[in-house]
Every structure is written in C-alpha cells, then in structure tokens.
Structure 1
Amino acid sequence: MACAEYSSHVPSLEELVGVLQKGLKENFADVQVSIADCPDLTKEPFTFPVKGICGKTRITDVGGVPYLLPLVNKKKKKKVYDLNKIAKEVQSPGAFILGAGAGPFQTLGFNSEFMPVIQTESEHKPLVNGSPFAHVNPADGGCLLEKHSEKYHDFGFALLANLFASEGQSGKVVEVQDKRRTGKLNFGTCMTQTLEKHYGGKPVGMGGTFVIQKGKVKTHIMPAEFSSCSLNSDEEVNKWLHFHEMKAPLVCLPVSVSRDPGFDLQLKHTHCFSYHGGGGHYHYDTTPDTVEYLEYFLPAEFLYHIEQPE
C-alpha cells in the first residue's frame, strides 16, 4: 500500500492545556482543561480492549471520500483494508486502533458506519476486536447497532477511515470537560480551529475518545446500498444519508488534524456508539443548553495517508 508520512508538531501537554482552555471557552460556557491520568478504558462506558491511549501515537487516513463520492469507486469497492496491515504500515505492529470509517460491506452485505476499536495482533498478543457498527434497520429505517466480532471474523473496513493508533498504554493525557455550548461550532470543529489558529503551519494531530454525558446529538448513517446517481452537492448527499437524533450517553472516537500537511488529510471525523442502541457519524449536539462532554486526548507523533485518492 502506498503510504505518505509526516512528522507532526507535538506540543507538550502543558501547552495544549492552555491553548485548548482559551479556544474552547469561546464556544462553551464551562470549560475545564487539565493534565490527568488516562482512565481505565477497559471499564464502562468505554469497554475497550486496552487500558489507555498512550505510547507511539499516530494518525492515519486510509483511502478517502473520493472513493465514495460522487459515485463509489468500483475498483476500491472490492477492497477490504486489514487493520493488522494498517498497524504495520504506520510502524506500530500490535497497535490499538480507534476512529471512524466505512464498514466492510463486502462482509456485511450492506453499508454501515464503522467504529474501529481494535487491539491488532502482534507476536505477544492476539487480535481483540471490540468494534461496533451502525446500519439502517431494514424494518423501520432506524439505527441498528451491532458488535462486529459477534457475527463476523474479519477486522477490516472499506473505502475510507480516519484512525488514531497507540500502544494502548496508561499514562498522562489531556482531559477536557465542556458544558453548555454557547457558540455555533461543534466540539470537533472548535478544537481543530483552535489548534490551527494557534499553531498555524505546524500541523497538530489529536486523537482519543470522549463521552457525551448529557444531551442529544445529530448523527447520520449511510443507506444500505450505494447511490446509483452521482452525488455532486452537499444537498444531494444529505438526501441520500439517514439522519437521526441520538441521546446520551454516547462514546465517541474522534480523529482530527489542525492543518493538512499536503496529502489531503480529512481534518476531522468522529463516530460514536452507545449501549442503548444509538450510534453513527457524529455531527453536532442538538441540545446546547444541557450538553456535557468529557474528553481524553493526545497529540500524534506522526501523520500518514495510506492509498491517498488522486
């Protein structure tokens, strides 16, 4: 697989605390940013296969939106990206990987929103797949959230994904608590713009996880089938997608980059899941007066793009 690599700017956690505290305060009434120990992510509400997000942090895009829109790329449509191979491509075999991507329709038989939560295999550890996926319920058009490993034995995705990889270790992270959104930006956009404004031409990648503790959010799920008509505008894409309002609590898997270093990285992408049946692609909260976020982040040491669309 063709792979572009970039050494990203890695601010200290102390510096990030100050930058994010100032920037997020412009969009939320109550903001508290600090350095904290990463919580044990094997416990609820996360139930990840690893305890933390620390160690050898990387962000990688794989494929991209041009493989899906305006029409699905017929050649790429047949390919499933193996997350074990992705870990090796980013020089981190055995990495813990989380993020947002398109589900492996070759396996599932339909499109879905995929939430990679995978401990990839290494010489010392077997693969552990904790990934949920959300798809359109054929019975009522609602959201159907399932655990991939309970039905299928592959561990891949299709067309595109934005991934954060680490060694899955415990350690210090940036903890952010946001309450009551007062601005127009969703959380991901606010953080990305805050970092871009401060660091300018120095790309900073951030990944981790956050919980929407209170409130509701707008999400989407792709239809079961690819569009037979070319989708050439946001309006046409939105008519194709299925939108839902999901209630808290929701576990989110954000990947963001403050600025593209020159190989067409998607600046932000977040998928979410829950234990009450909700999930999909996170857009923004719909209850700004009551929403509460709790986030854990780390900067990425390297940025990659694997199989970048032309």
Structure 2
Amino acid sequence: MNIIAKEIEFPGAFILGAGAAPFQTLGINAEFMPIVQTKSDHKPAVNGSYFAQINPEDGGCLLEKYSKKYNDFGFALLANLFASEGQSGKVIEIKAKGRTGEYNFVTCMRKTLEKHYGDKPVGMGGTFVVQNGKVKVHIMPPEFSSCPLTSDEDVNNWLHFFEIKAPLVCQPVFVSRDPGFDLRLEHTHCFSHHGEGGHYHYDTTPETVEYLGHFLPAEILYRIDKPKETHTFGRD
C-alpha cells in the first residue's frame, strides 16, 4: 500500500477497497479489506485492515483484524483501491431499502452512472453498511488451485460461498465503464464486528435488506501492472 501511494504521488493517502490478502505473509489465500493510512514524511503508516479466510477447524468463515503479527501493508494477486486524504467533507449519501430487481446495490449505482455519463468513465469509492438482511459472499480456499481455472464455472467451483448477516461494513470500488484499461468494473469486500466477512455478491433477503452508503467520485484513474494476457471470467 505504501508503494502504491508513492506510485500515484499521494504519500499519506488513506486507502479503502477490496483485494486478495498477502498469502506471502499469512501463508494462505484470504479476502482482504484494506483500511490503511499510508506513510508520509511526517507520519508512519497505520493498518486497520481485515481479512476473511476459511476456518481450518470447521470450514466456516473466519474474519480477523490485522495485528502486530500480521502487520503487512501488502496484498496479492489483485486489488481495487480508492485513495483519498481521509479528511471529513461533503459526500454522496445513498439510502436504499428493499431490492426489486436482479442487480446488487453496487451494480445499480454503477449502471446508473453509465446510463447518465455514457462514454465518459466515472469512478467512485467509499463505504456502505448493510443495516438489515443477509448477503451472499465468497472466500477463496486457503490453497491455490492445482489446475488452471479457465471459466466462471471453474472459479465458482473453487470458491467457498457463504450467507452472512447484517450489520456489515462494505468497501466498494467501481467504475461506470472501462476506457480500455482492462478493468474489473466493480469490486466490494465486507467485514463485520461479529466475525463474518468476504467478497460481496448480492443480498439474499431482498424484501428486508437496507443499505446506507457514503461515496466520493474519483478524480484520477490509475491502472498498475496491466497484464499482457487477460480474460473476462471471475469478475463479478
């Protein structure tokens, strides 16, 4: 995270988002919820991140907060990040109660931006709270797959899926359209204070779900280490 802040010429940036936890440090694959104040010339970095892994004892969901034992500011595989000054100010507040269509909360916002701005890409980041209801999440297995995953079906068969309950704090990063950078258009991870978290897919209780979110539009889009070979599966 500190290297990312340096690369985007934003030392001391406050970073939220979703990514893969650093298996090099943890020794396992896990879902990463970065909450990091990166280092600057005047202040050291602060890590308040969470990660969700498969519980080795019962195969369930195990959420942990970073501690001195896991004081790693890195991540692995990929991450979608939103960097800001981390200061108070004006934000966009969105409240929603009940889901009537097929799209999840983040996709609805992204498609609304796409419809309004058309070919102009608009990126946003922030947080939202699932105040009521339950959501479907996934967590990667602790070990990498022994064979290549070459389709959405392969990816879904490899992942572990769970239904977890509110309240949940979610960290979305989304872009209305891809301007040719080979982007993952939306990525959201969530954590809680009752030991559950993971990669957010959608709510499973459309009649009772409630959302409260606060967001900011991004000013600059950075694409770091774009792969030479790419694919489109496993991006939902």
Fold match by TM threshold 0.5 = yes
Residue 157 of structure 2 aligns to a residue whose secondary structure is: helix
Could you give the per-residue CA deviations for residues 54-83 of structure 1, whole angstroms, max 9, x where no partner exists?
Answer: xxxxxxxxxxxxxxxxxxxxxxxxxxxxx0
Which of 87, 93, 105 matches 2:11? 93
Shift of 1:289: 0.2
Q: Aligned partners of 2:71, 2:127: CA distance in 1, in Å?
A: 25
Following superposition of structure 1 onto structure 2, how do residues 7-156 of structure 1 map, counting pairs within 5 Å?
Answer: 83-156=1-74
Q: Structure 1 residue 297 and structure 2 residue 206: aligned?
A: no
Q: Aligned partners of 1:281, 1:101: CA distance in 2, in Å?
A: 9
Following superposition of structure 1 onto structure 2, how do residues 266-281 of structure 1 map, counting pairs within 5 Å?
Answer: 266-281=184-199
Paired position in structure 1 for 2:155? 237
Residue 222 of structure 2 aligns to a residue whose secondary structure is: strand
Paired position in structure 1 for 2:226? 308
Could you give the per-residue CA deviations for residues 224-253 of structure 1, whole angstroms, max 9, x where no partner exists?
Answer: 000011211211111110000010000000
Paired position in structure 2 for 1:160? 78
Shift of 1:154: 1.7
Residue 218 of structure 1 aligns to a residue whose secondary structure is: strand
Q: Aligned partners of 1:150, 1:179: CA distance in 2, in Å?
A: 39
Shift of 1:264: 1.0
Q: Structure 1 residue 214 and structure 2 residue 116: aligned?
A: no
Residue 303 of structure 1 aligns to a residue whose secondary structure is: coil
Q: Aligned partners of 2:97, 2:203: CA distance in 1, in Å?
A: 11
Paired position in structure 2 for 1:252? 170
- % of aligned pairs identical? 76
Structure 2 length as normaliser, TM-score?
0.95
Q: CA RMSD in A?
A: 0.8
Residue 243 of structure 1 aligns to a residue whose secondary structure is: strand
Could you give the per-residue CA deviations for residues 22-65 of structure 1, whole angstroms, max 9, x where no partner exists?
Answer: xxxxxxxxxxxxxxxxxxxxxxxxxxxxxxxxxxxxxxxxxxxx
Structure 1 consecutive aligned stretches of length 4 or more whose deviation exceeds 3 Å: none
Q: Aligned partners of 2:151, 2:30: CA distance in 1, in Å?
A: 21
Paired position in structure 2 for 1:177? 95
Question: Which amino acid letter does the alignment assign opposite residue 149 of structure 2?
Answer: L
Residue 110 of structure 1 aligns to a residue whose secondary structure is: coil
Shift of 1:150: 4.2
Paired position in structure 1 for 2:233? none
Structure 1 length as normaliser, TM-score?
0.73
Deviates more, 1:166-175 or 1:256-265: 256-265
Q: Is the 8 A contact 2:47 2:71 kept in 1?
A: no
Higher relative contact order (CA 8 A, sep 6+): 1
Q: Is the 8 A contact 2:23 2:30 kept in 1?
A: yes
Q: Which has the larger radius of gyration?
A: 1
Q: Aligned partners of 1:230, 1:88: CA distance in 2, in Å?
A: 33
Shift of 1:149: 2.4
Paired position in structure 1 for 2:121? 203
Q: Aligned partners of 2:183, 2:103: CA distance in 1, in Å?
A: 20
Deviates more, 1:188-197 or 1:156-165: 188-197
